[in-house]
Amino acid sequence: MTGIPFPNIDPVLIHIGPLAIRWYALAYIAGLVLGWRYILVMIDTPKLWRGSAPISKLEVDDALLWAALGVILGGRIGYVFVYNFSYYMEHPNEIFTVWHGGMSFHGGALGVLVALLIFSRRRNIPALTLMDLVCAAQPIGQFFGRIANFINGELWGRPTDVPWAMVFPTGGPIPRHPSQLYEAALEGIVLFIILRLLTHRYGALKRPGTVMGIFIMGYGVSRVIVEFFREPDAQVGYLYGDWLTMGMLLSVPMILAGALLAWKAPVVAEWLAPQRSATKRT
C-alpha cells in the first residue's frame, strides 16, 4: 500500500527568541477574531432582525473574552478527564501544555455554554440570541482548528487504500484517511453554509435558539460521520466492536439536544428571557 506523503509542515511558524509561535495557537486566534468580526457584521445587518439587534457591539466585545476562556478551559478539561485521565494524573504538569494539542470539542462547547450563560445573566441580555450569534460563527473556528490538527499531524484517520490516503509521520507506514480535512470540510465549510442560509435567507435569528439548535445537531451529525473514518484515541480505543467511539457516544446526545432546542426554541427563549431595562444601549 502506498499513500500521499504528508506535507511535513513545522508546527512552529516562527521563533522569536525563546518564543515559539505555533500554528495551533494561531488557529484559535484566527477563529476567535474572524468569528468576532462576523458577529459584528450580523449585528449591523437590520434584515436579520425584527428591528435592531437585541445585543450591542460592546456586549459582543466583552463576551469574546468569556467565550475564549470557556472554550480553552472547557476544551482542555474535557480532554484531560474524558480522553486521557490516567496519563495526566501521572503527569499533572502536562495538563497546562495546550500548545501540544489535546482539546475536546465537546468540553469546549460546554465551557462556552456555561461562560455565556453566566455572562448573559450578569449583563441582562438574551442568552439564546448571544449563543445563536456565537454558533453561527463557530464553524470558522472549527475550520481553522482542524487545519491546525492536520499541520500537527495529529488525529489522523483509519487505514485505507483510497487514492488520497496519506502517510502520517506518527501514524506508521500505513496510508490513512486525512480525517482532519474531512472534519474541516464538514464541521467548518458545510456547517457554515447551512447556518449562513438559516441566518441570512430564512431569518433564523428572529427565532432565538434555532441557530444554536441546528449548530449543535449539525456538529453532532458531522462528527458521527467522520468518526467512521477517524482513528480513535489510542488510550480510549473502540467502546464497542470496531466502530463505536467516544466521539460518537458524546455526539449522539448533542444531536438529540440540538433537535429538541430547534423545535422548542420559543419555549426555551421565554424561560431564559432577561428583564431588560429601558436604558438605551450602545
Percent of the chain surpassing pLDDT 70: 95
pLDDT tens for residues 152-211?
898 999 999 999 999 998 888 899 999 999 999 999 999 999 999 999 999 999 999 999
Which among 10-14, 26-30, 47-51 has the top mean pLDDT? 47-51
> In terms of DSSP H, where are the helices of the chain?
23-43, 57-78, 85-90, 105-123, 127-152, 179-183, 191-200, 210-227, 246-263, 265-272
Q: Please state, in angstroms and rounded to a whole number, the distance separating the CA atoms of residues 154 and 178.
A: 10
Please report, in range form, the residues annotated as the binding site.
146
Confidence of residue 100 (pLDDT cuts 50, 70, 90): low
The overall longest dimension of the chain from CA atoms, in Å, is: 68
- pLDDT for res 3: 80
DSSP for 236-262, please give it: T--SBTTTB-HHHHHHHHHHHHHHHHH
How large is the average pLDDT for residues 230-237? 88
Tens-digit pLDDT profile for residues 79-93 = 888 888 888 888 888
Give the length of the chain: 282
Cell of 24: 495551533
Task: Provide the angle, in degrees to the nearest 10, between the axes of the packed helices 127-152 and 210-227.
Answer: 20
3-state secondary structure of 123: helix
Residue that wins the pLDDT comparison between 86 and 212 = 212
Region 206-225: what's the mean pLDDT?
Answer: 96
Lowest mean pLDDT among 91-100, 136-145, 223-232: 91-100
Per-residue pLDDT averaged across 36-51, rounded?
A: 95
281: pLDDT strictly greater than 60? no
Q: With cut-offs at 50, 70 and 90, classify the pLDDT of residue 1.
A: low
Q: Give the per-residue pLDDT at 282.
A: 46
Q: What's the pLDDT score for residue 277?
A: 45
Cβ-contact 78, 127 below 8 angstroms: no
Is pLDDT of 275 > 80? no
